[in-house]
Amino acid sequence: MDVLEGVIKYRWNALPVEQRDGMKNYISEVIVQLSSNEASFRRERLYVNKLNIILVQILKHEWPARWRSFIPDLVSAAKTSETICENCMAILKLLSEEVFDFSRGEMTQQKIKELKQSLNSEFQLIHELCLYVLSASQRTELVRATLATLHAFLSWIPLGYIFESPLLETLLKFFPVPSYRNLTLQCLTEVAALNFGDFYNMQYVKMYNIFTVQLQSILPPTTNIPEAYAHGSSEEQAFIQNLALFFTSFYKSHIRVLESSQENVTALLLGLEYLIGISYVDDTEVFKVCLDYWNSLVLELFEAHHNLDNPAVATNLMGLQIPLIPGMVDGLGSQLLQRRHLYSGPMSKLRLLMICRMAKPEEVLIVEDENGNIVRETMKDNDVLVQYKIMRETLIYLSHLDHEDTEKQMLKKLSKQLKGEDWTWNNLNTLCWAIGSISGSMMEEQENRFLVMVIRDLLNLCEITKGKDNKAVIASNIMYVVGQYPKFLRAHWKFLKTVVNKLFEFMHETHPGVQDMACDTFLKIVQKCKRKFVIIQVGENEPFVSELLSGLPSTIADLEPHQIHTFYESVGNMIQAESDPQKRDEYLQRLMELPNQKWAEIIGQARQSVDFLKDQDVIRTVLNILQTNTSVATSLGTYFLSQITLIFLDMLNVYRMYSELISNSIAEGGPFASKTSYVKLLRSVKRETLKLIETFLDKAEDQPQIGKQFVPPMMDPVLGDYARNVTDARESEVLSLFATIINKYKGAMIDDVPRIFEASFQCTLELVHAYKGGKVLLKMITKNFEDYPEHRLKFFSLLRAIATHCFPALIRLSSQLVMDSIIWAFRHTERNIAETGLNLLLEMLKNFQASEFCNQFYRTYFLTIEQEIFAVLTDTFHKPGFKLHVLVLQHLFCLVESGALTEPLWDVATVSYSYPNNTMFVREYTIKLLSTSFPNMTTTEVTQFVNGLFESRNDLSTFKNHIRDFLVQSKEFSAQDNKDLYAEEAAAQRERERQRMLSIPGLIAPNEIQDEMLDS
């Protein structure tokens, strides 16, 4: 059956007409035969379902053009027997889903349009059949199948069939019947989600009012919905889920209709009450549905309130499509206020809901496990993070709508925690996450007042609460809240100092996760308040950074190495804010005193006996010292110069020595030696050395003398070592280090490119005349697609850096090997490598087009590139590269049409026919290429596609859509996930959303905004 389905999907048009008709008739007959008898229909249900799917696949090719009578035939067959009718309903449901729900990426846009028009034009017969069944049949299975089919159809059928027929009344009659309740509710939800202007408003109001009256007898308003849900059957739980979908769908499209009269407002408020009750249900999916709606309602109310100073926008948001008349703005303002007043009750309850159910933010590392223990979080839950983002946004809008109520509810819950009335870990957590989430949404004065109370209460709670776990939870919440309000801390030095000292206390607390969170929060606060720590504050004798450096050994005494690195990065940030170079160097010297002392000891011992460096504990200490240096270099950038100068040459000597140890171990012990803990540890030191140098050079300001000071001494110990080493001992970080150097110092590195090639890549790109060494890296990375993944990616990043900044040097190298490498890269199934290869190819194409070698390059590679790009474009493994594939093809087609190529692209020696121009040749070549690759497509279809490429080449959007349609038509991209073909549009939408969020105070948390936030 699967083979048959595959043939129909992808090879149907290649079959002779008789075979197609034979299959069509045979499958129809078998379906009728099996479904005409109750016993065989139930017994062979799975087989019949599969045949139904195959029939629908045939319909997508044959109907309406070659099977016009299909719908009338189906409806007349349905009237012959109740079981046939039940199966006909299943076929109609499948057909509707295929055309309306799953067609994107499955059929061309023209075919989808044609099928939709056919279904619409023939729907009357289907509509009559459904109504007939619902009014006449007593058979439960048939009624349920009909309701399920209607559910699939209701989202697209012409509205007259719903509102100008007995359909709605029939559905509302079925709603109270338990066996049909859920299916009917799903149908009503589809109707509720329709939104085509105001024409049917009265019918919607009537439907809603009848529905709420019926609902009160099924689910009385006094019901504790979360409890009922927890103890309900699966049918009852599904009813609550469907109820949430009904209310949210109805309100999204028609809530304004219900605001028109007092009677309707009462029914509306009752529905919102139900929805708030459902929102407390302990089920993630139900909550997501409710949350999505609350977010959109609150956003709508907020935007109208926010845009009151822009009457045109506010009018539009109110749904009033009328021109503005002078003097109308006041009336509009009062309408908005009335609307806000109408929703003030539900909004207040919604604030409490958001506070009680707030999701956990990413920064919180301390969680309660399934056994009720407080532990450090080991894995991030992405669903929770997405939920937090939406809840945070909703709560910020709610806060803007009524700051007083938000503040009052939060402080009331906090005072209950202090009194012990409402004390649970979860209650305190959700409250503090909510408090942290609204950072930036209040006016500064109100936020300051609010925070003073919150932080004082939390610090008091920490003092009076007993128990290690309890203290860990409170500590986690204090750290989260203070980390969210850098603006407040910058404005209140005493609070900032108290908070930082409290963090230092938590750094001695060995409870899992507390120290990590203390170090992370310290870093976050310092990044936003660094200036405060290097100036002498009122009532202080010295800057805080100086006081901190004096007590540094005791502060970090209980921290793990990775926590110490975060701490050092934080202090580096403080030092970076000091503008006096002399003081800055003094602070840096004091900060690095402990690691430098240890480093000097180790180097001193090594000078006496080099074997000292081979001890595993010494190697670990060296690694730790280098990691500490990297952390400080990350935050200090250029100002780290004095420190790296101090250790640089010794560090290179250690690097060279460890490299020799690794090579000897692998030479003696074979490939398995590279897996031993000893060799891994030595390699970690090498990698950290490279990372430290790369971090410093990358962060340092663009000062050529730094490049001159540090790059030449590295050539032999780093590059020479790379070339000399055995394959398994080569560090990929060497490639990324030199990519960083070339990106940083650009054209100044042009003379060093041959040396870099010789040492690190003679492997891949043999220099045409001078270097005949073994192709080390090429062997490493082209043997297969799996080994040495890091080397692959970093190799192409280095190649791209050279192509971008040192292109003249690249021209002098073997272009054949460069192009082979690039083609190999974009064929790779690893997304990062393929994308780097495609970006590199685009750079090369543009650079060569502008160079004197334009004709020579394109004559050699144009056809190869086109062929290879079409190969990956039509291969489903490379979908994520779609945007870049399109850009390369657009470049090639534009180039040919531009006339920039003055020499023929065809081989004059072997092609006897002389083409009038390159455009004609490329057109014919592309048609041949695609016709050979896709025998299932006719020459006319391929020619049409290729002509379309030339016609749309100057409009990227049309060009891209044209290629998308071809991919569907060629059947290369079927019902798989095709979102990668639309990735660019999705990225543009995300950027628009970010700009919108930036315009609303608090929506992007203050600590996420990339500003220096320097203090005045």
Whether the CB-CB separation of 404 and 411 falls below 8 Å is answered with: no
Q: Report the C-alpha gap between 214 and 174 in whole angstroms.
A: 11
Each residue of 580-595: pLDDT tens digit? 999 999 999 999 999 9
Provide the terminal-to-terminal Cα distance of the chain, rounded to the nearest Å.
74
DSSP character string of 933-978: H-TTS-HHHHHHHHHHHHHTTT-HHHHHHHHHHHHHHTTSS-SS--
Residue 674, both tokens:
């590279």
596: number of CA atoms within 13 Å, CB side?
A: 14
What type of residue sits at position 548? L
Whole-structure pTM over 0.85, yes or no? Answer: no
Each residue of 105-117: pLDDT tens digit? 566 667 677 777 7
Whether the CB-CB separation of 618 and 612 falls below 8 Å is answered with: yes
Confidence at residue 867, expressed as pLDDT on a 0 to 100 scale: 92
- Among 850, 837, 855, smallest CA distance to 896 is for 855
Q: Report the C-alpha gap between 708 and 682 in whole angstroms.
A: 28
Q: Report the C-alpha gap between 422 and 273 in whole angstroms.
A: 24
> What is the DSSP code (8-state) at residue 1011?
-
Q: Report the C-alpha gap between 413 and 936 in whole angstroms.
A: 68
Helices marked H in 485-638: 486-491, 493-506, 514-534, 544-550, 552-555, 561-576, 581-591, 593-608, 616-636
Confidence at residue 206, expressed as pLDDT on a 0 to 100 scale: 92
Report residue 833: phi and psi, to 5°: -70, -45
Ranges of residues in the chain with a pLDDT under 50 are 311-329, 763-781, 972-979, 1012-1016
> What is the DSSP code (8-state) at residue 148?
H
Confidence at residue 731, expressed as pLDDT on a 0 to 100 scale: 84
Helices marked H in 137-195: 140-153, 160-163, 167-174, 181-193
Residue 936, both tokens:
């299932």
Q: Report the C-alpha gap between 363 and 525 in whole angstroms.
A: 13
Q: Report the C-alpha gap between 669 and 679 in whole angstroms.
A: 11
Place of tokens 């290429």: 929
Which residues are CB-contacts of 70 (< 8 A; sequence separation ≥ 6)?
A: 59, 62, 63, 64
Residue 122, both tokens:
């023939």
Report residue 446: phi and psi, to 5°: -65, -40
Confidence at residue 526, expressed as pLDDT on a 0 to 100 scale: 93
What type of residue sits at position 306? H
Residue 376 DSSP SS3: strand
Place of tokens 């329709």: 194
Each residue of 252-291: pLDDT tens digit? 999 998 988 888 999 999 999 999 999 999 999 999 999 9
Place of tokens 């061309």: 108
Residue 11: CB atoms within 10 Å: 12
Contacts 24+ apart (CB under 8 A), 472-475: 472/366, 472/374, 472/509, 472/511, 472/512, 472/513, 472/514, 473/366, 473/374, 473/425, 473/428, 473/429, 474/428, 475/366, 475/506, 475/509, 475/511, 475/514, 475/517, 475/518
Report residue 960: phi and psi, to 5°: -65, -45
Whether the CB-CB separation of 891 and 865 falls below 8 Å is answered with: no
Whether the CB-CB separation of 806 and 743 falls below 8 Å is answered with: no
